[in-house]
Amino acid sequence: MEGASTEGAPAEVYRRYLQRGELGFQRCQGCGEAVFYPRMICPACGCDVLVWETSGGRGTIYATTAVYRRSGEPYNVVLVDLDEGFRMMSRVEEIDAEEVAVGRRVTFAVREEEDGPVLVFLPEEAS
């Protein structure tokens, strides 16, 4: 466990991680599964002992779609498989929506928006 910052409702703890520029997730002490979105009980085994960990924030795009609006540029919605073993939904920035591709490596970033910090992904440079 990572100290006092892990006290409170799971959604509040997750938000505090984002405010510090980190990606927090939980790991079940019963079965070892990575758990995201934060919750009180492991969805895999039902154990109620979940500890907080900090993700390195690197992952691979599992699925993507470009959403087209009547006005404005299209935007993307992605599912990203994080290296720690959990999947999450977000968007990839700094690249055209049509250029976001399955299998591409991405790294997380935090953007401050009207409602508070939001996690997004940025494409990693090809090696």
pLDDT tens for each residue of 72-118 = 889 999 999 999 999 999 999 999 999 999 999 999 999 999 999 99
Task: Band the pLDDT of 51: cuts 50, 70, 90.
Answer: very high
The average confidence (pLDDT) of the chain is 92
pTM: 0.88
pLDDT of residue 121: 97
Q: State the amino acid at position 64 in one-letter form.
A: T
Q: What domain range is 81 assigned to? A: 58-123
How deeply is 116 buried, as exposed, middle or buried, from its count of CB atoms within 10 A (0-12, 13-18, 19+)?
Answer: exposed
H-type helices in 1-127, by residue range? 10-19
Residues 49 and 98 in one domain: no
Residues 51 and 62 in one domain: no
Residues 29 and 65 in one domain: no
Residues 62 and 119 in one domain: yes
pLDDT of residue 126: 53
Count of structural domains, the chain: 2
Q: Looking at residue 86, which CATH number applies to its domain?
A: 2.40.50
Residues 47 and 63 in one domain: no
pLDDT of residue 125: 80
50 bridge partner residues: 28
Q: What percent of the chain has pLDDT over 70?
A: 94
Report the alpha-carbon distance of residue 121 to residue 59 in Å, rounded: 9
